[in-house]
């Protein structure tokens, strides 16, 4: 497979370890290609080395992908879930669902489980109220740290 041309090299990551570009191969034609110094294919390393040497022009800087509002909100929901699960694990449960599962029937874990159950509901109520405010345009999207700092505290018996 012969390399006919390479164009539009651009760093593929913030660490500048991989380069995205368009490569025309004979007989395939032009395809998107990512080259790196540790590529498993010899032609990938060759293209990377030649890109670094400037053979295909300057390498454009890395541009981080912009997340949509929906993606950011999804990340925030995942971070709240992580906070809940981590707190439960710190108290010997598998996750928040496990911590809440002892609330319904009399047992030695019931009082603690009821607290976890209420805390989980309060955290989700707050999270979704914040996201509703963001959607309504009355609040900017918080960072993960900001949202977590706003969550109600877990108070166990």
List all residues 6 or more positions away from 44 whose beta carbon is below 8 Å from its beta carbon: 33, 35, 36
Give the phi and the psi of residue 111 in degrees, each rounded to 5: -60, -45
Indicate the average pLDDT of the chain. 94
* pTM of structure: 0.65
Strands 18-26 vs 2-11: parallel, antiparallel or unpaired: antiparallel
CA-CA distance, 83 to 99, in Å (whole number)? 13
Which stretches of 12-101 are assigned E, i.e. beta strand? 18-26, 29-36
For the chain, the residue count is: 157
Q: What is the pLDDT of residues 49-106, one digit of tens each?
A: 999 999 999 999 999 988 888 898 899 999 999 999 999 999 999 999 999 999 999 9
Domain boundaries in the chain? 2-52, 69-150
């Amino acid at each position: 497979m012969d390399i006919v041309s390479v164009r539009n090299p651009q760093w593929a990551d913030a660490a500048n370890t991989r380069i995205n570009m368009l490569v025309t191969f004979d007989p395939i034609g032009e395809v998107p290609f990512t080259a790196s110094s540790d590529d498993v294919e010899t032609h990938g390393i060759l293209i990377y080395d030649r890109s670094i040497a400037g053979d295909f022009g300057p390498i454009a800087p890395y541009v981080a992908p912009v997340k949509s509002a929906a993606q950011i909100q999804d990340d925030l929901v995942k971070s709240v879930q992580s906070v809940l699960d981590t707190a439960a694990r710190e108290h010997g449960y598998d996750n928040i669902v496990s911590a809440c599962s002892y609330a319904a029937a009399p047992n030695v874990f019931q009082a603690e489980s009821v607290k976890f159950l209420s805390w989980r509901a309060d955290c989700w109520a707050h999270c979704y109220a914040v996201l509703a405010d963001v959607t309504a345009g009355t609040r900017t999207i918080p960072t993960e740290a900001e949202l977590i700092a706003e969550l109600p505290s877990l108070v166990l018996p």
